[in-house]
Structure formats: structure tokens, C-alpha cells
Structure 1
């Protein structure tokens, strides 16, 4: 049986906890919920003993809050472990903890980033070795479809394998939730070519759809999905994903993510991070197998 690591938000209204427990139950997984607590205690009078007492009080209060929330949302017989950890910078703990025994990490999305600053979300997306489900605070109907976003135009073996992982995960989620599976891929015309009118968009799209067919057919056969279920749209990848997800009101978008490194990651981020800025729905980000 698999296990899901759920990262609880501060306060009582953590949507990741309820959503993570729901998905864990429907997938037949156990769950571990972790909450982080931290406050500067240096100004508390009474020395280390007084500071330790306040620290324990804060930990106990958070544990009590989270236990109540777990009791409210866990299904009968569901195995749920609870950890409350005193820590200020939390992503190294999440990454290390998820490195063994967990099938996925579930966290509420607060993705923001700027030059010189990288949010916890971005760190978790880039560094966690397992799939990461970023849960949106504002959600669409739970009866709506699961959408798989694929890169059918790739010729790289690693990305083709990633497409298969994405599709497999999306299909499993759709079946577990009892909803429709939608599959889409973008055909992105390079902006330099488009701006200079060096390509005819219709011919370019037609040509690339033909080039996608072998990979599309292989995925359809591997996952026992009709070829007509695969939809391609012309446009920038992030824009196509967000617009198609909004049109379908998808409850979860499943997509692959390959993190950039260094300064370019802070300035640009990857497609999953761009999508997270614009989508008001859950995003399951899956990395290539290492």
C-alpha cells in the first residue's frame, strides 16, 4: 500500500489536509500529515526553561487543531499519522521525508517567486523526488474531469517516458475519483518564427500533428485509451494548459515538470510553476524518473 505526505497549512482551514485525505482514501493509500510551527522565542523572559515551555505549548496547540481536522475528514478505517515539527525553513524537511516510502506530497499552493527569493512551493516542486500535488484554495467541482497535459511533440526518450508517467497517473486519478479523463497537448510555434512570418501557422500545426502520431499511438496502446481522446491545440504551452483546464473546469491537471537550475530558474521557473500562477485548480506535477 502507498502512502501520501500531506503538508498542513497554518491555521485551521488547511485545504491540503482535507483534499489529501480524500485522495488517499480513494486511492487506497495511508497518509501522514505534518504541520510546522515556529516563532522567535528569544525575547521571552525566564530563560531556556520558559522558552521551552512556550514552544511546547505552541506545538501542543497545533497538534490539537490538526487532530480535530483529521478526525473531521478522515474516512473510517483510514490510517493517518500526525507529526508536528518545530522548524522555520520547511522545504528541506519535506524533501528529505518524501525521499522514502511516500508516493506523493500534497501541499496547498502559495506559489510566488521573484529574483533573489524562491518560495517553499518552488523548492518542493523542484526538489521533491516524488510527484507533488499543489492544491488550490479555490476549487472547481469535484465531479469535473482530470486533465493530463502531455508534450506529444518531444523526441527525447526521457520526456516520452515522462508523458507515459503523467498519463498513467491521470488515468488512475480519474478512475479513483470516478470522473472523465481529458488529454491535451500544445503545439507551440516558436515566437521568433511567428513574429517574422517565417511559418504558416496552419501548415506548421498540421505538420507537427503528423509528427506526434507515432508517440500518440504508442501512448494510446500502452494505457488502453482511444486515440480520439488525445486533443492538440496550437499556442504557448502554459496558455493552452490553463485555457483548456478552465474550459473543461478540470479539478486536477496532471503534468510533467523538469526544473531549471541557477538564475534562469529564479527568473523564469518551469512550465508547471507558470501554470500554478494562473490556474485555480489542483496541479499534480510529476518529474522524470531519475
Structure 2
């Protein structure tokens, strides 16, 4: 069964429609999970002004938090599930959310996913990407795509005999996808990519048959992915193995299938390289028009 007993939903105070909350309500109704609606706010003027006394600062902070609590209460009545609200004060949204999720023993974080301009993606690390990297629990990034019955879930799986961590994560991705599909009445498609022979190798080594090489690699990948599909009773026509980069192939497959959800694993990466290059998961999420469930290591 899809493990989802307590869902943390990130409340967006700058948008009237709360797509993350709506999605969480749908999941909660299917799984009998409880919902914790959390708003993380911070007002820089609270620290910048020198004209407020300590008591006035406390009152100002309490008033802002109270205002957020009232705003969230307006949405609670829209969901039949058990919903609690919590307004927190933290300069860092992703740190505040992760702290609450850990303390409240939540097993899923749901957050709406916004589009970012290309410059910001390459130079800065938005809260969305920070949350994906540091969250110890699964994260569902919500876009505007609906979840119709008998829809399609694309499960991105990888195979690498030299990387046990990613292989184990791929197993979890497939299991979670199949369990969730039973809950929401959806069909699972397994997606896998492989790197083809370099274009220049045909010039440097004329005797090398690039086409035969690619066909052989694809056949081996198909064999491995079909074995995984068989374990989960998935039909062979729901297995998709293509040459290319995951961030190019998987978004195209999601579009072709009109997928309602993409499930993928992410071990996360930090530091300068992550800020400049971004994870594969991040590249994929930005290119698709459906929700994305990011599975973390050691999460069932």
C-alpha cells in the first residue's frame, strides 16, 4: 500500500488557488491520511527597523502569524480529510518546512511547483530545488495537470550494475508507482534511457558499427526493465526504453502519454556543482507539465 498517513502541505500566501492543498485533499481521501497545512513566513522589516520595542516586535510577529492562520483556515473547509494548520516564522522556507515535517512525523511533503526563468535556474537555487535536496521524506511537486481516473503514471527507473544506491532507489520508485496506481486507479509506464555510441566514434574507428552497438545496448536495457515490469505485473507495452538523456526523453514520453504524474528518485546533490548544473530530477521537473513525486533514499 502507498505509505501516506500524514501529509504536510506548503501553503502559498501569494496565490488564491492552492493547487498543492487540493492535490493533498484528493490523496488524503484515498488513503485516509491527515493533512498538516503549513505556512512559512518572514518579514524582513521585523529585523531591519530600530524603532520597535521588544514587546512591539513580539506583537508584530504574532499578528502576522495569526493572519496567516486565518488565511489557511479559509481552505480547511474545502477538504473532507482531517486538517490541521500551522504558521511558522522562518527566514528559510525549505528549512522551516523540513523541520516541521520531521518534527510532526510527516511522510509526504506536497508543494506547488512554479516556473522559474532560465537565468535563475542556472545561477540561483530556488526553494523548490533546496527542498528536493534536503528533504529526508518524499516530495510531491504539483503543477496544474489534472489526475483523471485511468490516467498514466510514468515511473523513471535506471539500471547500473556499478551503482547499488541508484538501483535500490529505482526499485523503490517502481514499487511506490505501482502502489500509488492502485490507490488512484492509474496505469504505470516504466521509462528508461541509455547513452548511445558517441557520434565521433564512427569517424575515429571506421570499423565500429554504432547502430549495432546501440541496438545491443537497448536490447539489454529492455531485458532488465521488462524483468522489473514482470515483477510488478506490468504489460510489456508499458515499458519504454529510448536512447538519449533522461531530461530530454522522459518529458517527451510524459507528453505523449499525457501523464498525470511522474515518479522519479533523487539522491540529491549540494554545493557549487548543484547550484550551477542542477540535478537530473530538476531538469526533468522543469520541462514537464504534470505533477512529480520525488522519492528519497530509504523511503518506502
Q: TM-score, normalised by structure 1?
A: 0.87
- 1:139 equivalent in structure 2: 145
- 1:21 pairs with one of 18, 21, 25: 25
Aligned residues: 284
Q: Distance in 2 between matches of 1:187 and 1:245?
A: 17
Instruction: Describe the SS at the equivalent of 2:40.
Output: strand
| 1:247 alignment partner, SS class | helix
Q: 1:140·1:249 contact (CA, 8 Å) conserved in 2? A: no
Report the alpha carbon displacement of residue 259 of structure 1 after superposing the two structures with TM. 2.0
- In structure 1, stretches of 5+ residues that fail to align are none
**Residues of 2 paired with 1:111 and 1:259: CA distance?**
20
Quote how far apart the aligned CAs of 1:169 are: 1.3
Query: Does the 8 Å contact 1:15/1:108 carry over to 2?
Result: yes
Q: State whether residues 218 and 243 of structure 2, in contact with CA within 8 Å, keep that contact through their aligned partners in structure 1.
A: no
1:111–1:273 CA contact under 8 A, matched in 2: no
Distance 2:296 2:147 in 1: 27
Structure 2 counterpart of 1:104: 108
Which residue does 2:176 correspond to in 1? 169
1:1-290 to 2 correspondences below 5 Å: 2-11=5-14, 12-39=16-43, 40-41=45-46, 42-43=48-49, 47-72=53-78, 74-75=79-80, 78-99=81-102, 101-110=105-114, 112=116, 113-114=120-121, 117-136=124-143, 138-140=144-146, 142-143=148-149, 144-152=151-159, 155-189=162-196, 193-197=198-202, 200=209, 202-213=211-222, 215-289=224-298
Q: What TM-score comes out, normalization by structure 2 length? A: 0.84
Structure 2: which 5+ runs fail to align?
none
Per-residue Cα deviation, 1:112-136 (whole angstroms, up to 9, x for no partner): 5456632111111111111111111
CA shift digits 1:89-111 (9 cap, x unpaired): 12122223333622211111136
Q: Report the aligned-residue RMSD.
A: 2.5
Shift of 1:57: 2.2
